[in-house]
Copies of this chain bind each other. A is one copy, B any other.
Amino acid sequence: MVGHLDPYFLGVMDETMADLREIFGTTSHHTIPMSGTGSAGLESIMLNLLEPGDEAIVGVIGYFGERLATMANKAGANVRRIEEDLGGIIDPARVEKALKEKPAKLVAMVHAETSTGACQPLEDISRIAHEYGALFAVDCVTSLGGMPVDVDRIGIDAAGSCSQKCIGAPPGLGPVTFGPRAIEAVANRKTETPTWYLDLNLVFQYWGDAEGAKDRVFHHTAPVAGLYGFNKALRLILEEGLDSRYARHKKAHDHFRAGLEKLGLSLFTPESHRLPMLNVVNIPEDVDDLAVRKALLQRDVEISAGFGSLKGKAWRVGLMGYNADPDRIDILLQALEEVLKEVRK
């Protein structure tokens, strides 16, 4: 542990920013881990980019889209939600229709919807958002580090993720990136941001408001130990190589799906837009959700419950980072096979 203004630690911060830019696929300087969990990172996007009365269009294909809409609403925006059935993704034409009807300051989408296992394609929506003068923000909590997010190529203006999941560090930090259009929107705000803690202008006084900035003004005491772990996790990702890592996640998914089929189990999400790292498994009708999850936990294997209306009907299985590995997946599959036999007795 060193002080949060120790020259050594400032070096750790600079390295973290550089590595994070590479993983987000951006050259934007304004790329940092916010000092809160992934949700805090996403809230920093909404509270800095939106002002009371602004128009926002939010794609809702599950719980996490709903959460983005709630955050935008709390930021004071008039939120128009574009919804799709659970498991589905949003047709870009619907975003265009909404923008034609009334322009918006921000279009926000969830890239990898953790509640349904759906992967929302972003390119067309990004293009349309910009054609109509809107900023484009993305929740990439579950995708970052496990598949390409490509912030600059796609033209994403702001994106937020988390430190656990495919990044593989402990939870507690909210990596975010803000592009030049987003930073300009913050500079052009007419009202004060309602947050001090997540106020980008203040946060970047500490992280440095431009490349090579030497002045680091105290804002809050950085979570030094958490940032060490995060820094190391980013290093491990880049040592593995982004393409190798994405391929490993894809391969892990294929391995898991094949194993599920052998157990007579199927995936909820249509194959056309299925995420590799978050697998939503249909629970067979003759099997009790909680009994299975409890028995697995006793074997030190944790899978998650379904979200909202999928609760009791589906399990969610994360194959992220360290766990995107055939040997570890075999442990899960074998435990699942045993437990299913047990509960069906």
| Residues of chain A at the chain B interface (Cβ within 8 Å) | 1-4, 6-7, 35-40, 43, 47, 67, 70-71, 73-76, 162, 164, 170-172, 192-199, 219-226, 229, 297, 302, 304
Known: A47-B195, A172-B172, A172-B225; 12 extra A-B contacts, CB below 8 A, are: A3-B302, A6-B302, A7-B297, A39-B220, A40-B197, A47-B194, A71-B196, A74-B193, A74-B194, A74-B195, A75-B194, A223-B226
Contact B170 A226 (CB under 8 A): yes
Contact B43 A196 (CB under 8 A): yes
Contact A35 B36 (CB under 8 A): yes
Point out the residues of chain B lying under 8 angstroms from A219, CB to CB: 39
Bound CA–CA A192/B192 (angstroms): 17
Q: Closest B residue to A71 by CB, please name it.
A: B196
Point out the residues of chain B lying under 8 angstroms from A43, CB to CB: 195-197
- Residue in contact with A35 in the complex, picked from B37, B194, B224, CB distance below 8 Å: B37
Bound CA–CA A219/B229 (angstroms): 23
A-B contact pairs, 10 of them (CB 8 A): A1-B170, A37-B220, A40-B197, A47-B194, A74-B194, A74-B196, A76-B194, A171-B224, A171-B225, A194-B195
**A69 CB to nearest B CB, Å:** 10
Point out the residues of chain B lying under 8 angstroms from A71, CB to CB: 196
Bound CA–CA A28/B21 (angstroms): 43
**A323 CB to nearest B CB, Å:** 12
Contact B302 A226 (CB under 8 A): no
Contact A40 B35 (CB under 8 A): yes
Which are the 6 A-B pairs with shortest beta-carbon distances? Answer: A172-B223, A170-B225, A39-B220, A194-B194, A36-B36, A171-B221
